[in-house]
């Protein structure tokens, strides 16, 4: 899948959910027949994919947490991969809005 536009508002694909697991001290992505153990950056990005925040807002928020870093390329690439795996709803950016 192609990368999202900065105006897209990524959202976990139903019925996927995130769970912080205190036993493993890691974020887990819960899917119908599988569980994905996420690395810290993947967990941090997916936590922000609430369907409200735009991609631009997600990047801004992450860069605030990691000052001085340019995360745009990494975040866009990760979101495209996550959508490919079916973790996120398909992008809506193909719809032309005035």
Residues forming contacts to another protein in the complex (CB under 8 A) are 14-15, 17, 19, 21, 23-24, 28, 30-33, 35, 86
How many angstroms separate the CA atoms of 49 and 43, rounded?
A: 10
Of 20 and 66, CB closest to another protein: 20
Smallest distance from another protein to CB 22, Å:
8
What value does the CA radius of gyration of the chain take, rounded to a whole number of Å?
A: 13
Of 23 and 94, CB closest to another protein: 23
How many angstroms separate the CA atoms of 67 and 65, rounded?
A: 6
Smallest distance from another protein to CB 21, Å:
6
Smallest distance from another protein to CB 12, Å:
12
- First-last CA distance in the chain: 24
């Amino acid at each position: 899948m192609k990368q999202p536009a900065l105006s897209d508002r990524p959202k976990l694909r139903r019925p996927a959910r995130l769970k912080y697991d205190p036993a493993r001290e890691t974020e887990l992505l819960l899917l119908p027949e599988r569980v994905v153990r996420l690395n810290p950056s993947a967990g941090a990005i997916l936590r922000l994919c609430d369907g409200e925040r735009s991609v631009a807002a997600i990047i801004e928020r992450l860069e605030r947490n990691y000052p001085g870093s340019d995360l745009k390329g990494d975040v866009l690439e990760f979101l495209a991969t996550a959508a490919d795996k079916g973790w996120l709803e398909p992008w809506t950016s193909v719809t032309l809005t005035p």
